[in-house]
Amino acid sequence: MAGRAQALGGLTMAALDLAQYALGGGAGALVGFTLGLVGGGGSILAVPLLVYVVGVPNPHLAIGTSACAVALNAGSNLVRHARLGNVKWRCALLFAAAGVLGAAAGSSVGKLVPGERLLALFALVMLAASILMFRRRHDDGDLKVELDRKNAPRLAAAGGAAGLVSGFFGIGGGFLVVPGLVAATRMPMMAAIGSSLVAVTAFGLTTAFNYALSGWVDWLLAGAFVAGGVFGGALGARAGVRLSQRRGALNMLFAGLLVVVALAMLAQTL
């Protein structure tokens, strides 16, 4: 038991009370809504919510728990997007497969870096991703895009890079996956959102497994987070379908979300 407490940075599972688990469910609903709406950004919100709202004192415990919860939420939202025909499966599976190895390596290194530094560096990466999305805000993409010899190398390279970064920062990586898919294939934004959930699920599960090996996952909190995320994800998916009918609306929303969250994180960590 002493070893367990040490692995969690002095925090045992009993240290969280019922109110915190309830807050975890509310945070999960917000993250699920974000994942359903824009296919990414959920894990960006999860870690600061767990640390600053729920009150998890160890950043690595928050990262490991959020990776597990976001992966399960992304998988739930993936089912909805697949039913709506928003997933380019061959492109998404190649992207995810290339990124899983990167996520495993990145998460191993990320566990060695202080949590506060991870959050600050991650905020800077988010700002860079938001610039990419703003620049592509008027591009509706090619609705008929499929995996071929031309885009396969770009998908593999982008997937490997996104997996490495997402594993290092302990996140699902949707904020990188969506622009990576768009840049590699020029698929429409809604297809990139649906397809991104394949990689978000795979990266999150890989990272969560790696963090669980070090005892940095609170399974009860992850469960509360997922329960809230199921409800929020259903609302977000419906809103995302409606917004996709407006030219560039999701691109602008996604980029704006990244800017707001990145600035808030920088204000907290610097």
Assigned domain for 13 exists: no
How do the pLDDT tens digits run along the chain, 270 residues long?
333 443 444 444 446 788 999 999 999 888 878 766 765 556 677 887 898 899 888 888 988 998 898 888 788 778 888 998 989 999 999 999 999 999 999 999 989 988 778 778 878 877 877 776 666 544 566 778 888 888 999 999 999 999 998 888 877 777 788 888 988 998 888 888 889 989 989 999 999 999 999 999 999 999 999 999 888 878 877 777 777 666 467 667 777 877 887 888 788 777
**Is residue 7 in some structural domain?**
no
145 within some domain: yes
The domain in which residue 65 lies consists of 18-269
pTM (two decimals)? 0.79
Residue 21: which of 57, 53, 63 has the closest Cα? 53
* CA 216 to each of CA 57, 139, 158: distance values in angstroms, whole numbers, following the listed order: 12, 41, 28
Q: φ, ψ for residue 25 (rounded to 5)?
A: -65, -40
> Residue 4 domain-assigned?
no
Residue 168 lies in a domain: yes
In the DSSP assignment, the letter for residue 248 is T
Query: What total number of domains does the chain contain?
Result: 1
Alpha-carbon separation of residue 214 from 101, 122, 231 (angstroms): 19, 22, 30
Q: Tokens 């688990």 sit at which residue?
A: 21
Residue 109 belongs to some domain of the structure: yes
- What crossing angle do the helices spanning 249-269 and 18-38 adopt, rounded to 10°? 140
Residue 1 lies in a domain: no
Whether residue 95 is contained in a domain is answered as yes
